[in-house]
Amino acid sequence: MRTAIVWEASPHHHKILVEGAPLQTMDRYRQDRSEKTEAGGILLGYRKGPHLHIVQVTVPQLTDRCRRFRFDRSAHHHQQIALEQWHVSEKTMDYLGEWHTHPEINPSPSGVDINEWVKITNRQTKPMVFMILGLTGTIWLGLSVHHALIKCSTTATEGT
């Protein structure tokens, strides 16, 4: 069972804390068998100064398109969940970014991923997180700061 993980983004001194529950949820969608398709959703949590705290993720919805080597997120249902959580949290929980799976041991963003992230960061003024979960649970994590994507340390600190 996964516990919380902290990543650091240098040189901007941002920290990204991902709680165990969202990591465990994402793990259910790992492409650890050939019949599993890519899956994904959005990252929800809190902004605390330059730091991001991910406490929840959405999972594939009925209107999403999941294929072996591609995931296309339909915005509607994910946005509804984000808006509901924003209201429940008294307008403190925020949309922090995106996650999806890749059928590779050491995941890395594709050209399609980067193009989609550029579109997102061009609409956002705040830092955004992008995560790719590999088939064995390895995570690639990037942070956009001022429209530049920074790959965060792959040596994350696991906590309890």
Active site residues: 38
Contact assessment for residue 97 and residue 43, using Cβ atoms and an 8 Å cutoff: yes
- Quote the CA–CA distance of 32 and 74 in Å, as a whole number: 24
Kindly provide the residue ranges of all beta strands, DSSP E only, lying in the chain, ordered along the sequence.
5-9, 14-18, 40-48, 51-57, 65-67, 70-72, 94-101, 128-133, 139-145, 148-151, 157-158
Contact assessment for residue 117 and residue 104, using Cβ atoms and an 8 Å cutoff: no
Contact assessment for residue 31 and residue 103, using Cβ atoms and an 8 Å cutoff: yes
| Helix ranges restricted to H, the chain | 20-27, 75-88, 111-123
Cis status, amide bond into 103, omega within 30 of 0: no
